[in-house]
Chain A
């Protein structure tokens, strides 16, 4: 503690340089926090079904290839399958392509038992089931478009040859998936001309220990059929769905790492200048008895303070900005309920401390390693 004054005074030695360095680090960590939060949101989205013992059955060829309704009958016969619900990605939008959000046709009779983590007022759910063109909408999506129960809406087609005309009958609440819309599979099937095919079957499994075995059993059952399947857990399915956008996780992680590396190099330049300017002072301190290790520690604390200050400022600013900004609207629903979580701020603080250690380590070591005689002789 008695050396704190020395560290703080050195920290504020060149105020303008400190300001620019901190601002630069803050700017980059703002960007990194944003990217990490997107990855966090994806991971969170993948985890949404955790603990609900669901399996997803899709075509082994691709998610875009449909499976026949007939598969459902066979799947239901497998012991341990408690219920099956058909689910079809529609990919329509509301009025303008920018108003894109997740929308599905769902087997309304089996939705409640398979997706039992979705909370809906029982009366609203009954109203949804009773209306062939009824829709269930996530609470956040309702807020985004200022919809209310009873509103009639028309979605614009993108994949299927019809514009879904729907009436909002209920609002669902879910901790993660808050911005989707569900309507009747029957309505969809009739609108496309009774194709009797669906993108995925969602299964509720009574015993979680049997999920892997059931998964293998289903795929084995359809292996030699015209429509082979690929069965996976909900988390695997969500990840595979995300991977359709390319290896976005790898891309974002790479960009984040590049940005952090850039901070390390830029900070290293500043730290080197700072260490170089103080070679004589360090020599004087060594001459009066300060040991190399103590001086190295004091310099590293100082350098790490700069980067942690910048990292935390950038990350907390990102938290504030994305708390205020409606990212769902800005990204056409790509980032529903987006925010910078505390975990990302903590990660940013740790990363910025490491940046300080990496960028300041070498200059500090070089400055403190120099002999007293050479340091005193040095004209900076």
Chain B
């Protein structure tokens, strides 16, 4: 299957005060289009950093990241923001909805950056909230929703622009078992029914088991080896 994300020999070093802290050490992998990939590993292993690099909210210290045929590490800050708006849908652990906006307005936020008319935006938002089964909660504010509902609004916000990739950082980390299950089922549905490519960071084996593939990071390196996943993907 054609790789959507190609990561080659990526290193990431953070500078904390006068110290260089290496987080990723030569990661190489490929994520095929339509995949549902779970990144696992202990705290500090670099899984969230890798997710951030794929999502274009951070830049590698060295190496190349190609998404959908474009080398994103070479984009300007402004170019990268525009690229994220078109290609990436974010799902966070803490949902990160804007508390002063209701569910409809939160989902509409990414669409305000497009040239869609008000009517078109409404159609898109209603459709996205329908997919996450929250069409009847459109006027509710985050404080009026349960954690699971908030996360579903966040997922609707992530899919409303029909992005190329969905990136999810511990999407079930703040949810109880029932809501976590529903969220994972929703992600599974988005992957199966809508062929969304999903990259999810999790430390929960149960959550990882819902993905098509799982990779493990240890001290900034893939436990499966530099090309392990690429080889699996090629053979898939």
Contacts and interface: CB of A to CB of B under 8 A. Distances in A.
B81 interface: yes
Contacts of A269: none
Contacts of A372: 52, 57-58
B81 A289 contact: yes
B123 interface: no
B101 A371 contact: no
Given A6-B101, A281-B98, A292 B77 contact: yes
A290 B82 CA distance: 8
B84 A288 contact: yes
28 contacts: A2-B112, A2-B118, A6-B101, A6-B105, A9-B98, A9-B101, A13-B99, A13-B100, A281-B96, A284-B92, A284-B98, A285-B109, A286-B57, A287-B90, A289-B85, A289-B110, A289-B113, A290-B81, A290-B85, A290-B113, A291-B77, A291-B78, A291-B81, A291-B82, A292-B78, A371-B57, A372-B52, A372-B57
B157 interface: yes
A285 B97 CA distance: 10
B12 to A, nearest CB: 11
B4 interface: no
A5 B81 contact: no
Nearest to A281: B98
Given A5-B105, A284-B92, A287-B90, 14 more contacts: A6-B101, A284-B96, A285-B98, A286-B81, A287-B88, A289-B81, A289-B84, A289-B86, A289-B110, A292-B77, A293-B78, A372-B57, A372-B58, A373-B52
Contacts of A337: none
A215 interface: no
A51 to B, nearest CB: 56
B55 interface: yes
Contacts of A44: none
Contacts of B113: 289-290
Interface in A354-375: 371-373
Nearest to A294: B113
A136 B91 CA distance: 83
B5 to A, nearest CB: 17
A288 B52 contact: no
A136 B134 CA distance: 82
B158 to A, nearest CB: 8
B58 A371 contact: yes
A215 B132 CA distance: 88
Interface in B29-69: 52, 55, 57-58
Nearest to B101: A9
A10 B99 CA distance: 9
Most interface-central of B77, B81, B98, B105 (chain A CB within 10 A): B81
A167 interface: no
A284 B158 CA distance: 11
Contacts of A5: 101, 105
A46 interface: no
B170 to A, nearest CB: 12
A141 B53 CA distance: 78
Contacts of A285: 98, 109
Nearest to A2: B112
A373 B58 contact: yes
B15 to A, nearest CB: 12
